[in-house]
Amino acid sequence: MHFTLQPVKDDGFVDREELLEEMISELMDIKSTTGYALYGKRRIGKRSILYL
């Protein structure tokens, strides 16, 4: 079985548009006090989202 411990980047990253839009607009808003914690099953893509 092939697997990698690297996050996916650029063209390798698919979907998650809605989540990314929400996170980026919230984090760019200087008045916002909202933060994010990413949790989920192993290999679900947490680090890939943070590194994008």
Ligand X SMILES: Nc1ncnc2c1ncn2[C@@H]1O[C@H](COP(=O)(O)OP(=O)(O)OP(=O)(O)O)[C@@H](O)[C@H]1O
Q: Which of 40, 7, 35 is nearest to 22 (CA)?
A: 35
Q: Which does 52 bind (CB under 5 to 8 A by kind): ligand X, Mg ion, none?
A: none
List 47, 49, 50, 51, residue binding Mg ion (CB under 5 A): 47
**What's the min distance (Å) between Cβ of 43 and Mg ion?**
8
In the DSSP assignment, the letter for residue 44 is S
Which ranges constitute the DSSP H helices of the chain? 17-28, 46-51
Between 20 and 32, whose beta carbon lies closer to Mg ion?
20
CA–CA separation, 39 and 46 (whole Å) = 7
Footprint of ligand X on residues 1-52 (CB under 6 A)? Answer: 4, 6-8, 12-16, 42-48
